[in-house]
Amino acid sequence: MRVTYKYGIGGLRGRADGMVFCYNRYLGRPYTRKMVYPKITEKNVSFGNVTANIFRINPSQGYRDDMYYYMARYRNLNEANMSLITWSNFYLKLMYDMAKADNTIDLRTLTREEIYSRDLPCISVKKAVEAGLLPVVYDYRSFTHEL
Q: What's the pLDDT tens digit per position in 22-59?
A: 777 777 777 787 888 878 889 888 888 999 998 898 88
Q: What's the pLDDT tens digit per position in 53-106?
A: 988 988 889 999 988 888 888 888 777 666 777 888 888 888 998 999 888 888
For 123, residues 6+ apart whose C-beta sits below 8 A from its C-beta are 115, 116, 146, 147
Q: In 3-state terms, what secondary structure has residue 77?
A: coil
Instruction: Determine contact, residues 89/70, Cβ cutoff 8 Å.
Output: no
The one-letter code for the residue type at 144 is: T
pTM: 0.72
What spatial distance separates the first Cα and last Cα of the chain, rounded to whole Å? 38
CA distance 69 to 58: 18
Confidence (pLDDT) at 62: 92
